[in-house]
Structure 1
Amino acid sequence: MIDTVVWGTGNVGRAAIRAVVANPALSLARVLVHNPEKVGRDAGNLAGLGHPLGVAATDDVAAVLESEPDAVVYAVSGEVRPDEALADIVRAVSSGAVVVTPALYALYDHRSAPIEIAEPVHAAIADGGGSLFVSGVDPGWGNDVLPLLLSGLGSSIDVIRCQEIFDYSTYDQPDSVRYLVGMGQPMEYVPPMVAPGVPTMVWGGQVRLMARALGLELDEIRETLERRPLAKTVGTATMGEFEAGTQGALRFEVQGVVDGEAIIVIEHVTRIHPSCAPDWPMPPDGDGAHRVVLEGRPHIEVTVEATDEGGSRSAGGNATAVGRLVNAIDWLFDSPPGLYDALDVPLRPTVGKLGRKKS
C-alpha cells in the first residue's frame, strides 16, 4: 500500500482523510496540522468519521517528510499564502513524494505557469524524484475532464461553458465569504477574488488547458463581472446577518476568446440568499451545483450535485475534487517523476472501492 500523508485538516483536508482511508491502494500514514489545538487528536475525529483511525495529528513537518512518505495530499489553502504554499509543496516533492494539491492555481496548466513558480517545482522533481499533480476544488474536473469528455458527444460545438452556481449562506467560511468574495460588503468594496486580473490568474490555466486539448489557439483571455446588492437584510445559520444594500450576489466569467468570440467560459454565480439576482442561473435545488453546458448541436447540459458532511453541497463539491486528486495517487506512484496536469492524469475507476463499507 502507498503510505500517504494528509497535510491540513480544513474543508479540503477532512475530505482528503476520508478519501485516503476509502482507497484500497492507500494507507493513511500521518496527518499534519498547524493549529496547536489539533495536535494529538485522532485523524478519524478530525475528519468527522465518528471512529478513530489510530493516526494522531502532528505539527512536526520535518519529521513527517524525513520519514519519506510515498505520497502527500497538500490540503492547505494557497489563496492568501501562495508563497508559503509553494515552499511547502516544493519541500514535499523534494522528499521524493508524489504530491497532489489544489493550492497552486498557476500550475493547473503548468505549461503556461510563471517561471518563478514552475522552476522551483522542476528543480525539486529533479533533486528528489517526486511528482506533482495540481487540480482545482471549484471543482477541477468540472473545468477540464468533464467538459472535454462531453465534447466528444457533440456533432458541432459553439461554446463550452463551465458553471459553479452556489448559495453561500450554508458555507461556514466567514472570512472567505465576507472578505474574499465580498458578501455583505458595501458595493464600492472590491472583493479580492474578482479584482482585475485575479480571475484569470486563478481560472485562466483551466481555460488554456481545455483550449490545448481541443487544438485551439486563444487570442486572449477576457474577464466579465456583475454584482448585485441585497434588497433586504437576510440572516444565515452559519454567518449571521447580511445587510440590505450590501453585496448579495456575484457573477463573473473567465473567457477564452477566438476571433472576438468567447468560446470557452468558466462562470461562477454565487449568492448569499436566493432572493438576490433571481434572474441569474439557479441551482436545480439545494445550495449549489456544478454544470457543464455545450452550446451547439446537440445542446448538451450536465449538472452535478454532490453532497457531503450532512448534506452540504459545498462540502460535496470539495469531496469530489479531492477524490479526483487522491484517486490519482496510485497512477502517479507508478509513473515517472514529473509535473502533471489534468490532461496527463486519467480519470479511471478505482479498483476495489465498490462494496467497501463507508469510512
Structure 2
Amino acid sequence: MIATVVWGTGNVGRAAVRAVAANPALELAAVVVHDPAKVGRDAGTLADLGHELGVAATDDLDAVFAADPRAVVYAASGDIRFDDALADVVRAVRAGAAVVTPALYPLYDQRNAPRELREPVLDAIAKGGGSLFVSGVDPGWGNDILPVLVSGLGSTVDVVRCQEIFDYSTYEQPDSVRYLVGMGQPMDYDPPMLMTGVPAMVWGGQVRLIARALGVEVDEVRETLDRRPLENDVTTRTMGEFARGAQGAVRFEVQGIVDGEPRIVIEHVTRIHPSCAPDWPQPPSGAGAHRVIIEGRPRIEVTVEASDEGANRSAGGNATAAGRLVNAIPWLVDAKPGLYDALDVPINPGRLRRR
C-alpha cells in the first residue's frame, strides 16, 4: 500500500481523507493541520466519516516527512498564500513524494507555466525524485478531461464551453466568498479574483489544455465579466446576512480565441442566493452543477451534479475534484518522476464497494 499524507482538512482535505481511506491501494499515513484545535483529533472525525481511522492529526511536518511518505495530497489553499503553497509543495516533491494538489493553478497547463514557477518544481523533482500533478478544484476534470472526452462523440466541433454554476451560500469559506470574490460587497468594490487578468491567469491554462487536446493553438485568451446586485436582503445558512444592493451574482468567461472567435470557453456563474440573476444559467437542482456544451454536429450537453456530506450538495464538487487527484496517486507512483498535467494522467475506473 502507498503511504499517503493529506495536508489540510478544509473543503478539499476532508474529501481527500475519505478518498484515501476508501482506496485499497493507499494507506493514510498522516494528516497535517494548521489549526491547533485540530491537532490530535482523529482523521475520520475531521473528515466526517462517522468513524475513526486511528490517525491523529498533526502539525509536526518534520516528523511527517521523516517517515518518508510515498504520496502527499496537498489540500491547503493557495488562493491568498500562493508562495507558501508553492514552497510546501516543493518541499514534499523534494522529499521524494508523488504530490497531487489543486492549489497551484498556474501549473494546470504545466508546459506553458511561467519559468519561475516550473523551475523550483523541476529542480525538486531532479533532486528528490518526486512527482507533481496539479488539477483544479472547480473541478479540474470538468474543464479538461470531460470536455475532451465529450468532444470526441460527435462529427464536428465548433465551440467547447465548460460551465460551473454554483450557489456560494453553501461554500464554507467566508473570506474567499466575501472578499476574494466580493459577494456582499458594494458594487464599486474590486474583488481580487475578478480583477482584469486574474481569471485568465487562473483558468487560461485549462483553456490551453483543451486546445492542445483538440490540436489547435489559442491566439489569445480574453475575459468577459458581468456582476449583479441583490434586489433584496437575504439570509444564508453558513455566512449570515447579505444586503440589498450588494454584489449578489457574478458571471465571467475565460475565452480561448481561435481564428478570431471564442471557440474554447470556461464560464463561471456564481450567486449568493438563487433569486439573484435568475435569467442566467441555473443548475437543474440543488446548489450547483458542472456542464459541458459542445456546439457542433450533433450538439452535445452533459450536466454533472454531485452531492456529499449529507445535505451539503456543494461538497460534491470538492469530493470529485479530490477523487480525481487521490485516485491518480497509484499511476504517479508507478510513473517516472516528473511534472504532469491532466492530459498525461489517466482516469482509472472506480471500485465497486462490496457490501
Do both proteins adopt the same fold according to a TM-score greater than 0.5, normalized to the shorter chain? yes
User: What is the aligned partner in structure 2 of residue 48 from structure 1?
Assistant: 48
Spell out, residue by residue over 1:10-68, the C-alpha distance to the aligned partner (whole angstroms, 9 max, x if none): 11100000000000100000111111111111101110111111101110111111211
Q: 1:202-351 maps to which residues of 2 (within 5 A)?
A: 202-350=202-350
| Alpha-carbon offset, residue 99 of structure 1 | 0.3
| Alpha-carbon offset, residue 207 of structure 1 | 0.4
Residues 172, 238 of structure 2: 8 Å contact kept: yes
| Alpha-carbon offset, residue 314 of structure 1 | 1.9
| Alpha-carbon offset, residue 274 of structure 1 | 1.3
Mark the runs of 5 or more structure 2 residues left unpaired by the alignment: none
Spell out, residue by residue over 1:188-208, the C-alpha distance to the aligned partner (whole angstroms, 9 max, x if none): 001111111110111000001
| Alpha-carbon offset, residue 150 of structure 1 | 0.5
Q: Provide the C-alpha distance between the structure 2 equivalents of 1:170 and 1:346, rounded to a whole number of angstroms.
A: 31
Q: Provide the C-alpha distance between the structure 1 equivalents of 2:172 and 2:97, rounded to a whole number of angstroms.
A: 32
Spell out, residue by residue over 1:81-128, the C-alpha distance to the aligned partner (whole angstroms, 9 max, x if none): 000000000000000000000000011000111111100000000000
Residues 18, 47 of structure 1: 8 Å contact kept: yes
User: What is the aligned partner in structure 2 of residue 137 from structure 1?
Assistant: 137
Q: Provide the C-alpha distance between the structure 2 equivalents of 1:345 and 1:114, rounded to a whole number of angstroms.
A: 21
User: What is the aligned partner in structure 1 of residue 120 from structure 2?
Assistant: 120
| Alpha-carbon offset, residue 71 of structure 1 | 0.3
Q: Provide the C-alpha distance between the structure 2 equivalents of 1:77 and 1:7, rounded to a whole number of angstroms.
A: 10
Q: Provide the C-alpha distance between the structure 2 equivalents of 1:99 and 1:171, rounded to a whole number of angstroms.
A: 25
| Alpha-carbon offset, residue 313 of structure 1 | 2.5
Residues 229, 245 of structure 1: 8 Å contact kept: yes
Describe the SS at the equivalent of 1:313.
coil
Describe the SS at the equivalent of 2:282.
coil
| Alpha-carbon offset, residue 298 of structure 1 | 0.6
| Residues 1:182 and 2:182 aligned together | yes
Q: Provide the C-alpha distance between the structure 1 equivalents of 2:283 and 2:182, rounded to a whole number of angstroms.
A: 21
Give the AA of the match of 2:347. L
Q: Provide the C-alpha distance between the structure 2 equivalents of 1:170 and 1:210, rounded to a whole number of angstroms.
A: 29
Describe the SS at the equivalent of 2:92.
helix
| Residues 1:86 and 2:95 aligned together | no
Give the AA of the match of 1:329. I
User: What is the aligned partner in structure 2 of residue 355 from structure 1?
Assistant: 353
Spell out, residue by residue over 1:228-247, the C-alpha distance to the aligned partner (whole angstroms, 9 max, x if none): 01111111111111111110
Spell out, residue by residue over 1:283-306, the C-alpha distance to the aligned partner (whole angstroms, 9 max, x if none): 011110000000111110000000
The number of residues matched between the two structures is 355
Describe the SS at the equivalent of 1:163.
strand
Give the AA of the match of 1:355. R
Q: Provide the C-alpha distance between the structure 1 equivalents of 2:83 and 2:36, rounded to a whole number of angstroms.
A: 22
Residues 11, 172 of structure 2: 8 Å contact kept: no
Q: Provide the C-alpha distance between the structure 2 equivalents of 1:298 and 1:348, rounded to a whole number of angstroms.
A: 28
Query: TM-score w.r.t. structure 1 length?
Result: 0.98
| Alpha-carbon offset, residue 355 of structure 1 | 2.0
Q: Provide the C-alpha distance between the structure 2 equivalents of 1:170 and 1:254, rounded to a whole number of angstroms.
A: 24
Residues 144, 210 of structure 1: 8 Å contact kept: yes
Describe the SS at the equivalent of 2:96.
coil
Give the AA of the match of 1:59. D
Q: Provide the C-alpha distance between the structure 2 equivalents of 1:261 and 1:141, rounded to a whole number of angstroms.
A: 24
Q: Provide the C-alpha distance between the structure 1 equivalents of 2:171 and 2:102, rounded to a whole number of angstroms.
A: 19
Q: Provide the C-alpha distance between the structure 1 equivalents of 2:59 and 2:239, rounded to a whole number of angstroms.
A: 29
Mark the runs of 5 or more structure 1 residues left unpaired by the alignment: none
% identical aligned pairs: 76
User: What is the aligned partner in structure 2 of residue 16 from structure 1?
Assistant: 16
Query: TM-score w.r.t. structure 2 length?
Result: 0.99
| Alpha-carbon offset, residue 347 of structure 1 | 0.9
